[in-house]
Structure 1
Amino acid sequence: MSENNKRTEIGDLGEFGLIDRLTKDVKIKHKTTAKGVGDDAAVFDYGGDEYTVLSTDILLEGIHFDLSFMPLQHLGYKAIAVNVSDIAAMNAIPEQVTVSIAVTNRFSVEAIEMIYEGINAACENYNVDLVGGDTTSSRQGLCISVTAVGRVKKDKISYRSGAKKGDILCVTGDLGGAYMGLQVLLREKTVFEANPKMQPNLDNYQYVAGRQLRPEARTDVIHELDELGVVPTSMIDVSDGVASEVLHICKASNVGAVVYEDKLPIDQDTFDVAHEFKIASKTPALNGGEDYELLFTIKQEDFSKLEKNANVFFIGYIDEAENGARLFTEGEQTLPLTAQGWKHF
């Protein structure tokens, strides 16, 4: 094969390398496009004092979910939540969603209605309107694509690119639960496949299983930040693991960072399940993904406004770019911060 016809494997580039390659020649043609590719959502300026933000995401059977343990109602709910999370990551409030779904003939009308029960429940919870979408057939598997739209005051929008040296690195909620929930669900599936008489037992794993099956977008924190007068200097949602998201902020903002391992918030249930699986609890906290918490930076002068907030944990700070992103371990070692989270290809 000649050099001109050289085949590049998608896995060699990875998701973000592929995006960079596919979008490197994209040119913005309209002044209403304030931000295109490169953040949690696109940003549009239609005049006035607000931006419109838009994000879209796909959930594909066999890749993003397994129907052997994912209830259809939870799947519908999660499809909305993960997209609403992208809107929240811009410090914006979601208002509308569209839902497109492709199904095979193995799904009954009643099954699809169950998915929409979850979709409608999420729309009610996040106060968003379901305003359209598309329905089509699929030759194999189930696919759900959601587009979410929201709004934010122009002086309150948060991009990945706004972090500055000295900013404090914050995260909402606790980390690693979704990953450990997935490990439990996969184990129970394996047991059931080996012996169908052994029914799954999730009584002791309700918290971590729930973090995986029915995550919540942290729109509540967006409202709290607004009430406290705090505008994050940068923000991203934790979909691929907090280490990966810190690196995204560092790259977009051209900064370095220090993350303190002992400051990572881990729920006791997550800790216990990790111990059961003989996994160091900090590993899923750093690299697990699908927690859909918010990772953001604030100016030092805003610390006093958030220091007693039960939803916010301070895990590090922003440093100079030449120092890179580093992890300060519980053993007081300083190591390069690496991303080992979800890989799409």
Structure 2
Amino acid sequence: MIRTELSTLGEFGLIERINQQFTPTLPQTIKGIGDDAAVIDTGTDEYLLVSTDMLVEGVHFDLSYAPLKHLGYKAVAVNVSDIAAMNGTPRQITVSVGLSNRFSVEAIDELYAGIQAACEAYKVDLVGGDTSASRSGLVISVTAIGVVQKDKIAYRSGAKPNDIICVTGDLGASYMGLQLLEREKREFLENPDMQPQLEEKAYLVGRQLKPEARTDIVYELQDAGVVPTSMIDISDGLASEILHLCNQSGMGAQVFEENIPIADETFLTADEFKVSPLTIALNGGEDYELLFTIQQGDYEKIKNSPHISFVGFMTNDPQAVELVTKAGGRFPIQAQGWQHLNK
């Protein structure tokens, strides 16, 4: 038999391969695999949104520095982010966990305390889930359920030429927070008596351990009367996500380096680690900010928002997805984010 390694496909290639084998047959299935959430018609003026993400110990988190309470919160936030990326509002979640006997009852209480805190923060109900034994560490799978008005939904595929590309918050902070935590872990292994030196890096570490879904932006856009023409959350880095929007919309893009939002803390820490802040912003991932496009006419409605940066515009040349540097050079944007099936 011919054996094909998963690494030859990568995560997105595998998803596309699976997608090609399944065609929705029910009229209620409006959107299946391929966006931030599945879209289901309930026969009302709203669509139902459903999204699932899995966090696996040793792949997505390291319990040597990730507190269980923060981990529970993050597991919910990253799924709520997918609902927000459809311009939707989260309503319910289910949580399934795979556990080994190394975890105590008190440890699981701590994990679920984080889940409960996230439920309160995002106004969602925990309505079910499953528990199972695990021989390979802790596994957390969360399904988020939300709703969106049918005329307000934002897919990845709706961008048009000259639409303005928008980014919320700042980028690269989560990746730098991870680098700090990994460095502290290495130093601790060499010297167990050392004390962590992370007080001045609380923002970066917080962005890694306890990210927030940008549900606030959904409400802000709604209040401003703006419906994004396309939208995605930034889980794998700005470069990867802009390519998703371009590929699914059949568009090209120009993104201006000088407009990409990067926090001062990220700049300083990237310099400390001798890495490019721009590279981190483009490829770091796990920021869980929102990347979206708007019509030119909507710019005036949100131009003064302190939470939104306008980083570029869409073009009608799908072969040209480019970064425009401060010096005026143009370079193809390539996704170099983390490919966990290559590990």
TM-score of Structure 1 vs Structure 2, range by shorter chain: over 0.9
Residue by residue over 1:262-298, the C-alpha shift from the partner in whole angstroms, topping out at 9 and shown as x without a partner, is 1100111111111111111111111100000000000
How far, CA to CA, are the matches of 1:11 and 1:29 in structure 2?
31
Provide the residue aligned with 2:220 in structure 1: 224
In the alignment, residue 53 of structure 1 is paired with which amino acid? L
Q: Equivalent of 2:171, from 169, 172, 175?
A: 175
Structure 1 residues 249 and 105: alpha-carbon distance in aligned structure 2, compared to 1, 3 A threshold: same
How far, CA to CA, are the matches of 2:299 and 2:6 in structure 1?
42
| RMSD over equivalenced CA pairs, Å | 0.7
For the 8 Å contact 1:241–1:341, the answer to whether it is kept is yes
How far, CA to CA, are the matches of 2:59 and 2:213 in structure 1?
21
TM-score normalized by structure 2?
0.98
Indicate whether 1:325 and 2:321 are aligned. Answer: yes
Aligned length: 341
Indicate whether 1:279 and 2:267 are aligned. Answer: no
For the 8 Å contact 1:177–1:270, the answer to whether it is kept is yes
For the 8 Å contact 2:55–2:141, the answer to whether it is kept is yes
In the alignment, residue 57 of structure 1 is paired with which amino acid? D
Q: Equivalent of 1:59, from 35, 52, 55?
A: 55
Give the drift of 1:321.
Answer: 2.8
Give the drift of 1:140.
Answer: 2.0
Instruction: Show the 5 A alignment for 1:64-83.
Output: 64-83=60-79
Provide the residue aligned with 1:334 in structure 2: 330
Indicate whether 1:111 and 2:107 are aligned. Answer: yes
Q: Tell me whether 136-145 or 323-332 shows the greater mean CA deviation.
A: 323-332
Give the drift of 1:239.
Answer: 0.1
TM-score normalized by structure 1?
0.98
Indicate whether 1:243 and 2:239 are aligned. Answer: yes
Indicate whether 1:256 and 2:266 are aligned. Answer: no
In the alignment, residue 292 of structure 1 is paired with which amino acid? Y
In the alignment, residue 211 of structure 2 is paired with which amino acid? P
Indicate whether 1:124 and 2:120 are aligned. Answer: yes
SS in 1 for 2:151: helix
Provide the residue aligned with 1:204 in structure 2: 200
How far, CA to CA, are the matches of 1:34 and 1:43 in structure 2?
5
Moved over 2 A (4+): none
Give the drift of 1:331.
Answer: 2.3
In the alignment, residue 155 of structure 2 is paired with which amino acid? Y
Provide the residue aligned with 1:163 in structure 2: 159
SS in 2 for 1:158: coil
For the 8 Å contact 1:163–1:253, the answer to whether it is kept is yes
Q: Which runs of 5+ in 1 are unaligned?
A: none
Among all aligned residue pairs of Structure 1 and Structure 2, give the percentage whose two residues are the same amino acid: 59
In the alignment, residue 110 of structure 2 is paired with which amino acid? M
Give the drift of 1:322.
Answer: 4.0
Q: Which runs of 5+ in 2 are unaligned?
A: none
SS in 2 for 1:156: coil
How far, CA to CA, are the matches of 1:322 and 1:138 in structure 2?
45
Provide the residue aligned with 2:230 in structure 1: 234
